[in-house]
Structure 1
């Protein structure tokens, strides 16, 4: 009976009720949306590299090694010997190894020297492999495969020649103009630093640095042109790092300890999952700030709901007085107001989910094509029910203010004719 009465009462004030409901829907969708995007961003962040058991580099800190090998941020403290990399890659527990050579760039995008095992074994997200949107993998010395962002932002197409620069700055005075690379492939978007990388072979890295000494080209009168035989004989001497995939997860810590205790060269092996978790903790302040701002927006909406109900109390005085006159108890009037608050809150929760799902469905193709982000449409997480329970509780708590006022309102005051 009270539920039917609460619905009819809201319908009689549907203009005000709709405005209140819209305010709550926007606030709740903002709260749910930020929480969902926060968790999806964390999932995407922590899955930037997947399926890799160990990252190996020169002796360095865990975060520094992660930043320059995975995120292409910063520089290595030192290089590692290619001979020692090969020795590690032949370890009985190593299933595959991907060499990484950094240090060059192209118009602000980092150049990554590697081999074809990179395209075969590198994984991101939910164990997703790299895919080519067009073209093929590099097969010769002067061929390159571009990340999706590089090709899009610079407008490159297959068959186009590009010139690499020494160093990682956007402006470089040392360019390898005499040895351009031809674009033979463009990777599909991944939403990872792969999209902003220029991929070439290790032999290509060696070829463009022939004759260089201490990071600068040697003085010579004419351009150095390498013959096919010389190019075929090139072998890398140093690497920046390596990604390792092991045959057994059980052996991870044993192999990590052996690499960290490698006698021939000071090396560091880190667990990418642990390093990513540590890096994310450094960003948790921004994450919490977003949640606080959204919570304040929601609180403002709930206070607006209370204010609306309080403002309507004067207009509803005669309605409440008539209910009292026909036998309604004070506690029933209290429950009536609380039921109205509950109906508005539950409807706003449903509306918020519909609005959020519709927005995500509309934006998903754009986010995928522009940023390589795949955001799940299902915005329900293990803690969502508890969060919505808190929202309902706060709404009922704040709604108790006008409900108590209705409870205390006397029959005579309600029936009094005001001039």
Structure 2
């Protein structure tokens, strides 16, 4: 009966009530959306690599090593010797390794030299393995496997030829045009930096740099494919490599062993720990987004208070009638609070439903383009706290017009 009266009262002022409802629904949608994106971005960020125990590179900072080896951001300070890689890979605790060589590009996309172990052992997300949408891993010296975004953006298909460029710029005048590569495979979307990478063999990287020195092509006729294949294409150095261990109990021992490797200065990092450090550096951005969302919500709740306060002045006759039939001042205060609660709860439920619909409709696109993997848990523990805080805030804001109605009722009683 009480809430039915509150609904009837809101219906009589449905124009302003609907506008307030929409304002709160939009602000709650923004707040929950930001929280959901923050939560999923953090989860997806950590899921860029999965099942990799160590990442090893030349001596540098932990975050820098993670950025250029996993996220293809920045440049390596130095390479590590192939012999050092072979020594560490031969450790009895090592189950598998994935060597990577960076430094070339194609129309702004990074080129990564590796081995076929990359397609076997690399994992992302919740332990998901790479899968080919078409074609097969590279088998010939000048085969290339494209990430999904590279193939989609540049319009490549199986069998197309492309030329790699020296360096990482989107425009390069040092092109390896003597030996074009053939598209042998295209990977399925992963929502990770794999989608923006061209994958070739380590031997292919060595082959295109024959006749080059210091990033400059030496004068003379380029070597033929037959002559190149007859040469020893074992690399002298690589950029970094990923390590999977037989037992994680040996992780810290092997990390310490690599960090004190006598052959050359090396750095071994735990990807999960370094990702946590990287995310802590981004805490300022997270808090800024939260603050903006909270201010938007606060503005909407103040609008709710303004709407209810204005309605009090228009409801003098209604208040007088309710006082005449025995309604107490406390009843009028509770009625205003109930109206604020109904608008806020209804707007919150509408915002949650809209967020669920938007998430479901854009899940695949967000995963493919922005590396955001939305799971089924729409409401996180933090989001639940926010929802309770919104309801509590609405009740607190509703006290402003509620107390006004209470005082007017007392004045009528005294009169």
Work out whether residues 108 and 170 of structure 1, in 8 Å CA contact, stay in contact via their aligned partners in 2: yes
- Residues 203, 235 of structure 1: 8 Å contact kept: yes
Secondary structure in structure 2 of the residue aligned to 1:409: helix
Q: Could you tell me which residue of structure 2 aligns to residue 246 of structure 1?
A: 245
Residue 186, structure 1, aligned to residue 186, structure 2 = yes
Q: Does 1:314 align with 2:328?
A: no
CA distance in 2, matches of 1:123, 1:144: 20
Residue segments in structure 1 that go unaligned for 5+ positions in a row: none
Which sits farther off after the overlay, 279-288 or 240-249? 279-288
User: What TM-score results when the alignment is normalised by the length of structure 1?
Assistant: 0.95
1:299 is matched with: 298
Task: Map 1:138-153 to 2 at 5 A.
Answer: 138-153=138-153
2:272 is matched with 273
Deviations along 1:122-154, one digit per CA (max 9) or x if unpaired, are 111111111111111101110000111111111
RMSD: 1.8
Q: 1:62 to 1:98 in 2, by over 3 A?
A: same
Aligned position for 1:393: 392
How big is the shift at 1:8?
Answer: 2.4
Deviation at 1:176, TM superposition (A): 0.9
Q: What is aligned with 1:177?
A: 177
Separation of aligned partners in 1, 2:158 and 2:230: 23
Instruction: Tell me how far 1:341 sits from its aligned partner.
Output: 1.0
State the 1:370 CA deviation: 4.2
- Provide the C-alpha distance between the structure 2 equivalents of 1:260 and 1:393, rounded to a whole number of angstroms: 53
Residues in 2 aligned to 1:200 and 1:243: alpha-carbon distance in whole angstroms: 17
Deviation for aligned residue 1:230: 3.4
* Pairwise CA distance, 1:109: 0.9
- Secondary structure at the residue paired with 2:56? strand
Q: 1:277 to 1:369 in 2, by over 3 A?
A: closer
Q: In structure 1, what is the Cα distance between the partners aligned to 2:233 and 2:77?
A: 25
My pick for the range that moved more, 200-209 or 43-52, is: 43-52
Equivalent residues of 2:41, 2:371 under 8 A apart: no
CA distance in 2, matches of 1:349, 1:245: 46
Q: CA deviation at 1:375?
A: 2.3
| Paired residues for 1:106-117 under 5 Å | 106-117=106-117
2:41 paired residue number: 41
> CA 1:36–1:84 in 2, change beyond 3 Å: closer, same or farther?
same
Partner of 2:357: 358
Aligned to 2:60: 60
1:136 maps to 2:139: no
> Secondary structure at the residue paired with 2:244?
strand
Q: Which residue of 2 aligns with 1:157?
A: 157
Partner of 1:22: 22
Residue 312 (structure 1) shift: 0.6
**C-alpha displacement at 1:238, in angstroms?**
0.8
Relative distance call for 1:372 and 1:411 in structure 2 (3 A) is closer
Residues in 2 aligned to 1:270 and 1:231: alpha-carbon distance in whole angstroms: 37
Alpha carbons 1:324, 1:411 under 8 Å: kept: no
The structural deviation recorded for 1:11 is 2.6
Cα deviation, 1:106-135, whole Å, max 9, x if unaligned, reads: 111111000011011111111111111111
> Does the 8 Å contact 1:141/1:203 carry over to 2?
yes
Give the whole-Å Cα distance in 2 for the aligned partners of 1:78 and 1:370. 31
Contact 2:329 2:409 in 1 (8 A): no
Q: Structure 2: how far apart are the matches of 1:340 and 1:383?
A: 26
Superposed CA offset, 1:310-348 (max 9, x none): 111111111112111111111111111111111111111
Shifted more, 88-97 versus 374-383: the winner is 374-383
The 1:369–1:410 alpha-carbon spacing in structure 2 relative to 1, beyond 3 Å, is closer
> Paired residue for 1:326?
325
Number of positions where the alignment pairs a residue of Structure 1 with one of Structure 2: 415
Q: TM-score, normalised by structure 2?
A: 0.96
- Provide the secondary structure at the position in 1 that maps to 2:381: coil
Tell me by how many angstroms 1:219 deviates.
Answer: 2.7
SS at match of 1:273: helix
